[in-house]
Structures are given as C-alpha cells and as structure tokens.
Amino acid sequence: MRVMRERQIYAVPTFTIQEYFATHASSPDEAAEEHRLLDYHVQEFHRQLEHGVPMAAGSDVGPFPHGTQARELELMVEYGMKPLEALKADLLNGARLLDWEHEIGVLKPGYNADVIAVPGNPLEDIRVLERVSFVMKAGVIYRR
C-alpha cells in the first residue's frame, strides 16, 4: 500500500460485482463464502483508505443493466469513503488512471465532457446519482 501511494498506483474496488455474487449465489454455502469475501474486500478498502492509496471507480458492470453504475459510488461511501472522494475517484481519477486527464474529467474547452443533473446534492446523499434527470454528452442533450 505504501508503494501504491508513493507511485500513484490506483486501487479500483469494484464492490458491485462482489455484492452481485453474494446476492446471486447458487447455494447458501456459496452465498456465505461470497459474503466472507465481500467483508474481506471491505476490510482491505479501509486499510487502503487509511494508507492514502489513490482510488478510482469501476464496477466490473458485466451482469448489471447499463445506467446502474452509481451503485459503486454508493458502496464506496457506505464502506467509508467521503462522497467528495468517491466522486473524485470516479470523475477525476478514472481519467488519470486511463491517462486521459487531458481529454476528459474536467469541464473545460476542448475536453470531452458528459454533464448530468440529479435531484439533489450528491455530497449530502450520494444516492441521488441513481436519479439522473438530464444528460448532455459532447454538447448534445440526450435527456431533459
């Protein structure tokens, strides 16, 4: 974790996939094992936060419907990250991790930007990200 912090190697927790496996297990024994793994995952996340490991958001969203990725940010907050840090992990650090920070992640001329509106302040309740009411991508409005 020290090396990750020093070299800015991002951790990407991907809690939603672990949660999915825990809630969709094929047997009670498998569910118990998946919950044990999720608990371990959360403990390691706490350690990473304590040690200042940089975080990015990702969900391994394979089995989930498109548009449900906000759940990952909710879990990051539920498991100890401050809402602002979860948003930074998603919006800024994701761009840095992909080495695209000069193309995305900022509302700035010349950058590709997606803009959303939600019915509330995600710093007060991260769950508002589940209720997107406006979407603009590259200057084109897709949802009003």
Q: Report pLDDT digits (tens) over 36-52.
A: 999 999 999 999 999 99
Q: Is residue 113 domain-resident?
A: no
How does DSSP assign 42-58, residue by residue? Answer: HHHHHHHHHTT--B---
Q: Report pLDDT digits (tens) over 87-106.
A: 999 989 989 999 988 888 88
- What is the C-alpha to C-alpha distance for residues 48 and 60, in angstroms, rounded to an integer? 19
Identify the domain containing residue 10 by its residue range: 2-103
- What is the C-alpha to C-alpha distance for residues 39 and 45, in angstroms, rounded to an integer? 10
pLDDT exceeds cutoff 80 at 24: yes
Q: Is residue 115 domain-resident?
A: no
Q: Is residue 111 domain-resident?
A: no
The number of distinct structural domains making up the chain is 1
What does the angle CA 83 – CA 87 – CA 92 come to, to the nearest 5 degrees? Answer: 150
